[in-house]
Chain A
Amino acid sequence: MNKRTARLRFPVVALAAASALLLSGCTSGGSGSDFATTTPTELSGTVSFWHFFSDREADVIQSVVNDFEKANPKVKVTVHPGQDDEKLRKAISTGSKVDLGLSYSTDIVGNFCSTGAFRDLGDVIKRDKVDMSQFTGTVKSYTEFNGTRCSMPVLADVYGLYYNKDLLQAAGFTEPPKTLGELETMADKLTTYNADGSIKTLGFNPTMGWYENAPSHYGPAAGAQWLNADGTSAIGTDAGWPALINWQTAYVQKIGWDKLNKFTSGLGQEFSADNAFQTGQVAMNMDGEYRTAFIKDQAPKLNYGTAPFPTADGHTDLYGGGYITGNIAGISKGSKNPELAWALMKYLTTDTAAVVKLSNGLKNVPTTHAALTSPDLEVSPQFKTFLDISESAHTTTTPPSPVGAGYQQSFQDWWNIYQTDPSADLPSALTTIDKQINDSIQLVSGP
């Protein structure tokens, strides 16, 4: 009886084994079409555009996309908003769904350029004679990796200090702080308590990991380095990080971690109208230039000012700089409409009217010289601060790496825990982080 079933079983197993070998060889990047050798004269078809913005910000993107469609009547753009890096990556890796992808940060550049997930744009840039000098130096550096340019900058985010003018004046301050020491002194005076001793309002919230408090944003305050020239971690050997860590953890311990954590847990969500700075629960805060748009939309009566973020005591020469990162766009490996994607990308990144419109709507910093100096650019006094920071020589970014933002994540995770109990030996802890980062880089791209 069983000979038959036995005989049938073998082919089935063989089939499974064969398919195993077959499938293991196949990649899922999708096979896309190539760029043309000469610039196409007429553009027609459908192109898919994936980006991370949502709600109000997505509407701004849509209006610029509509302008593009008007200028190219035969082209239809299908927009996919709300796609974070994880989802974007998934879509790019699993086929041809994404033509043009816009990421909120430069983290994926290192990986996407080296694996080809975003295409190399070198040839089409030359072909269409795109002038790369219209972008600032830092901006160019974070959109390429190891000589391969696979992305273009689409507006930048710059970080600085926001301060509540009313609260500061009430406490007798007319100027924002310029050093971390001043920041702490002013914040102490601005902090108020409830009858039971719990915090009512904070002058400044030093909790690492809350809102935009991240090591990457603080680094420039002490000129701290992330990676060495060879791509290995520099955290353990840099002198800037211990200065920042010690200041921050000392301040946290001074307020009291439990008290601080309890207060922080009850604060509103960062991008909702209950944002703690917008409600006045926190008098001074580290945030990006886009916050000016949110305040205009959600808390228009707030009397606030902006300034470069204070530097560490002893690094006062760095004042005026800050952290810059950008939204970046790239054309996916599996795209079947690379020319359309390239046309849309050029429009979004180099067309001055488009860049200015995007900047005015999102309140992000433009990345081309023409847009920065355009008379159509709406510049409120608070926004001007960030334009200045973006041009400062002391403004730095987080370098691209094959592990993407992994190295930042490792450091941040450690710092988030260290601030609750800063008793461990700091130098050896930082050396351990170095080793962890180097190990994970090795795993991903070592020989």
Chain B
Amino acid sequence: MKRRGLSWVGEHTVLVALGVLFIAPVIFVVLTSFMSSDQTLTASLWPNPWKWSNYTEVFTQVPLLRWFGNSALYAVLATVFMLVSSVPAAYVLAKIKFRGANVLFTAIIIAMLLPPQVTAIPVYVMWSGAGLTGTLWPLILPNLLGDAFSIFLLRQFFLTIPKEYADAARVDGCTELQVLTRVMIPMAKPGIAATGIFMFFHSWNDYFGPLLYTSENSDWWPVAYGLASFRGIHGTDWGLTMAMTVLVMVPVVVIFFFAQRVFVEGITMTGVKG
């Protein structure tokens, strides 16, 4: 009895200590975002006075709203395009037997695991030939032709659906397409949602892609790239920089809280099954 109590206290002490360490950076960032530039360079840890205007200034100093719009466009379109192209492919790979299926799947695994820098140069040359560099389209459009990681994930989800459902639907006279749309997709909804959320965040957080394709055109900068470039242009105003950092963090956290269950389930399923 006594032993149990001690271990509980011990575990929770460690938890609290770690928890404090983990939340501390966020707290410092938020506090700093309310400080004036001069104060950020001093030892004080509490804003005095509270410079609420940092948050409005950040919108006037840089076209932040536009950058958010770019990020949203990139993330939303990439996700939608990916789902349209990858769900059918994943279904086929999971449920339909055909010669070359293993080769194709292996190719997808390799494509998924290779560093993007390996293929970056010829792809860049291709897009510059098409005149689309300087925009985010080279990052959005390829998702119309599938995304390797998403196909892999979706396939794993489709694998968990027992084949009896598809068989039953076929017996009822459904075409293959109907089997996919009326049976498989509704059943794999959590998996599809999780994959979509992955794609969304991957696009929202992307830095290398925008660096390569939009660095020379600030009209198309997404918010991640804008934040990285912000400090260069605007000197040592840490207060402003932290305000912008907070603004970049917020949408992600908000979306997470709404999609929490789907999210966590999705990740754990991929990790455990993958």
Contacts and interface: CB of A to CB of B under 8 A. Distances in A.
Q: Do chains A and B touch in the complex (CB under 8 A)?
A: yes
A94 B235 contact: no
Interface in A352-409: none
A87 B126 contact: no
Contact of A23 (B129, B217, B218): B129
Contacts of B215: 86-87, 90
Nearest to B218: A82
Interface in A264-278: 268-269, 271-274
B98 A23 contact: no
A2 to B, nearest CB: 4
A272 B232 CA distance: 10
B57 interface: no
A274 B234 CA distance: 11
A97 B218 CA distance: 14
A23 B215 CA distance: 24
B235 A272 contact: yes
A95 interface: yes
B235 A83 contact: no
Given A83-B216, A90-B133, A273 B235 contact: yes
B128 A95 contact: yes
Given A23-B125, A82-B233, A95 B216 contact: no
Contacts of A86: 215
B236 A88 contact: no
B131 interface: yes
B216 A1 contact: no
A274 B128 contact: no
A94 B98 contact: no
Interface string A1-45: 110010001000000000000010010100000000000000000
B216 A91 contact: yes
A269 B234 CA distance: 9
A431 interface: no
Contacts of A55: 233
Contacts of B98: 1-2, 5
Q: Is the interface of B mostly helix, strand, loop or mixed?
A: loop
B271 interface: no
Contacts of A28: 125, 128-129
Contacts of A54: 233
Contacts of B218: 82
A94 B128 contact: yes
Contacts of A1: 98-99
B129 A26 contact: yes
Interface string B211-235: 0000111100000000000000111
Interface residues of A, number: 27
B173 interface: no
Contacts of B162: none
A141 interface: no
A191 interface: no
Interface in B92-114: 98-100
Nearest to B133: A94
B134 interface: yes
A93 B100 contact: no
B148 to A, nearest CB: 17
B135 to A, nearest CB: 11
B175 to A, nearest CB: 18
A90 B212 CA distance: 9
A297 to B, nearest CB: 13
Contacts of A88: 216
The residue in A9, A80, A83, A95 that gathers the most chain B C-beta atoms within 10 A of its C-beta is A95
B118 to A, nearest CB: 16
B227 to A, nearest CB: 16
A23 B218 CA distance: 28
A272 B236 contact: yes
Nearest to B213: A90
Contacts of B122: 23
B164 to A, nearest CB: 24
The residue in B41, B98, B215 that gathers the most chain A C-beta atoms within 10 A of its C-beta is B215
Interface in B125-172: 125-126, 128-129, 131, 133-134
Contacts of A80: 216
A87 B221 CA distance: 13
20 contacts: A1-B98, A2-B98, A2-B99, A5-B98, A9-B100, A23-B126, A23-B129, A28-B125, A87-B215, A87-B216, A88-B216, A91-B134, A91-B216, A97-B134, A268-B41, A269-B236, A273-B235, A274-B41, A274-B235, A274-B236
Interface of B: 41, 98-100, 122, 125-126, 128-129, 131, 133-134, 215-218, 233-237
8 closest A-B pairs (Cβ-Cβ)?
A272-B235, A87-B216, A94-B128, A28-B128, A269-B235, A2-B99, A94-B133, A269-B236
Given A28-B128, A268-B236, A269-B235, 8 more contacts: A5-B99, A26-B129, A28-B125, A80-B216, A90-B216, A94-B133, A268-B41, A274-B41
